[in-house]
């Protein structure tokens, strides 16, 4: 007899519903826990048998996973979009959701997703916050231009965000209301503040000993910059979990959705089931990388000759994934094929 208990958790901001079952589906205990560390410690202290737990990936999953992991025989996280047994149910509430997660767990049907180590999640949080600061800085730049356009001020678009030109421009705007001048100065100050903070965070991430080696090797690929390398390392996590390049390409959202039935195959648009952070960075990198990397430039020209610029960019992004995966897995510097041929 399997004496292991299987526990499903339905996690929310303030409460956690749980359902504890035996291997045969018999319910041992059901209930609700306050989503606090003190309540979880009290709940864990009442467990008298070994247990395996599972929970859905949400905004609140990380700290709960870290807190319960030392007490469980095994703790799994389920992909929310793959939990069709919950979304398709006629009856849906917290207790029923927890019970279904426990059933999927004990039947070994849980759509498990990868959970990054806690240290990597800390660094990834910093990187994503840096990306947030970059977006806010761009908004400030856009707002500066819109304020000038609102009052009919003439300005040089290419030089607008340069420090010297901006100060000179403010001194010449004698026909602009005082309120607009104050808003322009405030917007400029915010933009500079955001830029300084994001550069500081980026520098700290680059120097972190946990990932600095991997990042340095990846930056050895021509066309891969610090942001692309950092995003790859912190979003991919353990690259060994991908057996094939196609799996990594799919995870990065660089391939189309596939539907096949009765011998007929249909390819849809780019799939929405992807890591959006990696997808954004890789596509942006693919637009610039051919300028510095002859191999990527060749891929881009070959695809561009077929008449679709977007497909050419995606082809370059997929090739970048192949390069980075090879370097990251083998932990060796990137060597182009031409260099290998010359050495031979």
In the chain, the N- to C-terminal Cα span, in Å, equals 62
How far apart, in whole angstroms, are the C-alpha atoms of residue 266 and residue 257?
A: 8
**What mean pLDDT comes out for the span 14-42?**
94
Mean pLDDT, the chain, whole residue set: 90
How far apart, in whole angstroms, are the C-alpha atoms of residue 48 and residue 264?
A: 54
Q: Distances from the Cα of 155 to the Cαs of 141, 159, 176, in angstroms?
A: 13, 8, 13
The yes-or-no verdict on residue 234 having pLDDT over 50 is: yes
The pLDDT of residue 269: 74
How far apart, in whole angstroms, are the C-alpha atoms of residue 153 and residue 206?
A: 41
**What mean pLDDT comes out for the span 84-105?**
83
pTM of the shown model: 0.86
pLDDT tens digits along 282-302: 999 999 999 999 999 999 999
pLDDT tens digits along 309-344: 889 999 999 999 999 999 999 988 888 766 544 544
Q: State CA 316 to chain mean position distance.
A: 20
DSSP-assigned letters across all residues of 258-304: EEEETTEEEEEEE-S-S-HHHHHHHHHHHHHGGGT-HHHHHHHHHHH
The pLDDT of residue 344: 47
Band the pLDDT of 87: cuts 50, 70, 90.
low
The pLDDT of residue 54: 96
The pLDDT of residue 190: 95
Write down the H helix ranges in the chain.
37-45, 61-68, 84-87, 94-106, 118-150, 163-172, 178-207, 212-218, 226-236, 245-251, 276-288, 294-304, 309-330, 337-343
Closest by CA to 235, choosing from 310, 316, 324, is 324
The rounded radius of gyration (Å) of the Cα atoms in the chain is: 26
**What mean pLDDT comes out for the span 106-121?**
91
**What mean pLDDT comes out for the span 200-205?**
93
pLDDT tens digits along 249-262: 999 999 877 776 66
How far apart, in whole angstroms, are the C-alpha atoms of residue 298 and residue 108?
A: 46
The yes-or-no verdict on residue 237 having pLDDT over 80 is: yes
The pLDDT of residue 337: 67
The yes-or-no verdict on residue 266 having pLDDT over 80 is: no
pLDDT tens digits along 157-202: 999 999 999 999 988 888 888 899 999 999 999 999 999 999 999 9
The pLDDT of residue 211: 93
């Amino acid at each position: 007899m399997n004496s292991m208990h299987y526990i499903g958790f339905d996690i929310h901001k303030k409460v956690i519903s749980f359902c504890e079952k035996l291997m045969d589906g018999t319910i041992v205990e059901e209930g609700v826990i306050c989503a606090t560390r003190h309540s979880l410690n009290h709940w864990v202290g009442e467990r008298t048998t070994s247990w395996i737990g599972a929970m859905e990936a949400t905004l609140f999953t990380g700290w709960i996973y870290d807190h319960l992991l030392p007490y469980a025989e095994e703790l799994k996280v389920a992909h929310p979009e793959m939990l069709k047994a919950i979304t398709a149910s006629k009856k849906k509430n917290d207790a029923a959701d927890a019970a279904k997660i426990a059933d999927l767990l004990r039947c070994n049907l849980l759509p498990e997703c990868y959970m990054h180590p806690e240290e990597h999640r800390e660094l990834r949080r910093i990187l994503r916050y840096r990306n947030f600061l970059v977006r806010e800085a761009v908004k400030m730049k856009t707002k500066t231009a819109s304020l000038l356009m609102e009052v009919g001020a003439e300005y040089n678009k290419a030089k607008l965000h340069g420090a010297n030109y901006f100060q000179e421009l403010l001194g010449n705007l004698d026909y602009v209301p005082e309120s607009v001048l104050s808003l322009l100065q405030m917007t400029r100050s915010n933009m500079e503040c955001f830029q300084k903070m994001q550069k500081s965070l980026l520098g700290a991430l680059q120097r972190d000993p946990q990932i600095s080696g991997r990042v340095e090797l990846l930056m050895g690929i021509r066309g891969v910059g610090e942001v692309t390398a950092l995003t790859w390392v912190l979003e991919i996590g353990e690259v060994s979990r991908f057996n094939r390049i196609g799996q990594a390409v799919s995870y990065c959202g660089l391939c189309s959705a596939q539907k096949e039935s009765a011998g007929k195959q249909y390819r849809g648009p780019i799939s929405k089931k992807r890591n959006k952070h990696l997808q954004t960075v890789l596509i942006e990198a693919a637009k610039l990388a051919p300028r510095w990397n002859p191999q990527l430039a060749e891929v881009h020209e070959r695809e561009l000759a077929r008449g679709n610029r977007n497909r050419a960019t995606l082809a370059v992004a997929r090739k970048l994934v192949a390069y980075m995966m090879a370097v990251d897995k083998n932990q060796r510097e990137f060597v182009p094929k031409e260099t290998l041929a010359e050495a031979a």
